[in-house]
Structure formats: C-alpha cells, structure tokens
Amino acid sequence: MQLSSIKNLSFNKINFNTRKNNYVKLAPLAYDSVSFQGKPQIKTNSDNVRKANNLGKRTLEQLQSGKTKQETLALLLEECPELSVKSIDELQKTEGTSYYAFFTHKISKDFAPVDSVLYLNLSEAKGNEHSDYFYASDLAHEYTHALQTLNGDNMVQIRDMSLNDKKMAELIGGFGGSIFSYFDNAAQTQAILKNLSGYDKSQILKYGHVVPRKQDVDEKTFLKNLGYKNFGDYAKYVNNLFDKCFDLACAQVETSSAENVLPELKELYLTLKAQGRIEELRPIVKKYCIMQAQGEKEAYTTEAEFARRYCTTKSSINLDNFVMYYSLLEKALER
C-alpha cells in the first residue's frame, strides 16, 4: 500500500470544506484497490438536495433554450448572492488543478464562512451532446456543497470540534483535509472503476464524465467482487487505513518546512505533542473526515437525482455508486 500522496499536506492554505467535482479518471494508480456498492440510501427529503436540483434543472432548461452559461448565472446569484463565481480557468492557473467545478471558502474568527467562491467551467463551447447536462450537473453538485457551508451546519461542527479555537480548527482541518484526500481521490477512483461496466469506462474516456444510465446496485455483490465478506471487513480496512494516514501525517508535520505547514500550526502541533495530547487529536480528525464523507454523500445524491431526471427514470443508476461509496465510508469511520 502506498500512502505517499499525503505528502501534499493542506496546512499551508486552510480552506475549510473545500469541495471539488472530481470525476473518476482512468489513469493507472499505485494504490490498493478498494470498492464499495449497495442500495443507495438517498436523502430525497434533504433541503440542500432539493434546492441544488432545482437550480440544476432551471439552469439546464435555460441552456437548452439557447441561453449562455453567463446568462444562466443570474439564477445562481439570485438564489445565493453571497457567492462569488469565477472561471475554473483562474483556479487552474493559480493551483495547477484540473477540475470541472470547485467550491472553496475560508472561515472568520467567529466561525462564519467568508470568501466563498464557486469556480465553474464558463466556456461556451459545446464539446458534445451532453455538454449542457454535464455543466448543470457540476453546478448542482457544487451548489450542494455551498449550501452545506453557507447554512452554517458545517461551521457549527468545526467550531464544536475545535472548542471554538480558530487555530485548533485550522490544525484539525489541515489533518482532516490531507487524510480525506486519499479517500476522496485514490480510494474513490478505484472504488468507482470496480463498479462500472466497460461501456461506462469508455464513456468516461470519451466525455470526461460518467454518462448516467440504469444500473442495478447491490452491496453484497459489490463487496464480494472486492474480496470483502461483509461490511465489517471493509470497516476494519478503512479504520486501519485512517490510522496509517494519521500517523504518516503526524510524521510529515514534524519534518515539514514553512512552505508546507504554517509555522503557527506546526508550533501548535508540537505543543500538543509535548503535552502528550496527540492521541486526543486522532478521533477529532476522524470526525472531520466523517463530516467530509457526509457532505460528499449528499452532493452525489444531488447528482444522482439530477441524473435520474435526465434519464427519465426512477431506477437505480450508475451514479448511485458514488452515493454508496461515501455512505459506506461514513459508516465505516463511525465505527
């Protein structure tokens, strides 16, 4: 198992609950394969899911009627005027990332969200027959994350985890963001690829997105394909992996330079270590990762529900694999 990806620590730029639309990629990965599947437990009554789906629906309708992306942004800003919207090109230039959409924000001293930005692909070029749907779906996904932050729920959790200490919150966010990135990228990619058909994979190569279509999702079959006898085996694996990631992050903080970890956060970590309190940090960081998994589960629920509408079906679809991945990850970390 290779965990060197955690070398890119998140302690130097703390953007709490930074969210990305990070679709599965087919590049080879040097990680153990993990994959999860099951009947999605979709929160169809979630207010965030409802609002985000409604925005996606209205945006898609306007795009299909001939309006430009820039013109449809009026819908978003009408719903959420406190959001800033920028082209994803700006993020790619400054961060070197390659996302379709991205939500980020910071928190103030009193634990309120500030500098909330939604980066979107604002190019008007129509790359394929699904371009309008993909854009509206990306928007709905990221708007779900924006709502999770702006409604204050995530801020309350972060404040409680840190006992209202801003620096402690930044330390928790640095650890949690770095560790969760493994589950959110390498592990998620392997999990989803194991559950998609060859046809679906060819569609990803063609479009860069998962094209929605009907697919039966069954947890038992999914786990069997991965070599897991039951959920308990999977939960054990996840928690062992979390502990390894946490220990690795600790070691890297201690040897890091100011370029990777803010000096004041490293000082706080070393103070906790001197006091023999690092083990107190482990369960708090795990709570942060659980919060992240819950947020992704809800955002992918939005996406799956939006895709069902696009496919004009009420049946299970391939995008439900994302929902179940984060649902099982959440439950495993809670053990």
pLDDT digits 0-9 by tens, 144-167: 999 999 998 889 999 999 999 999
196: DSSP letter: S
220 Cβ neighbours under 8 A, 6+ residues apart: none
Q: Which residue has tokens 């965030």? A: 48
pLDDT of res. 12: 57
pLDDT of res. 11: 66
The pair of structure tokens assigned to 245 is 């990631």
Please, where are the H alpha helices in the chain? 47-64, 69-79, 88-95, 131-150, 153-161, 166-182, 188-195, 198-207, 219-225, 231-255, 263-274, 278-311, 320-333
* Rounded to 5°, angle at Cα 195 from 189 and 307: 85
pLDDT of res. 43: 43
Mean pLDDT by 10 residues, the chain (335 residues): 46 51 34 29 68 98 98 97 94 80 91 94 94 98 95 91 93 93 88 90 94 86 76 94 94 85 91 96 97 96 96 94 92 94
pLDDT digits 0-9 by tens, 43-65: 444 899 999 999 999 999 999 99
pLDDT of res. 48: 95
pLDDT of res. 26: 32
pLDDT of res. 259: 78
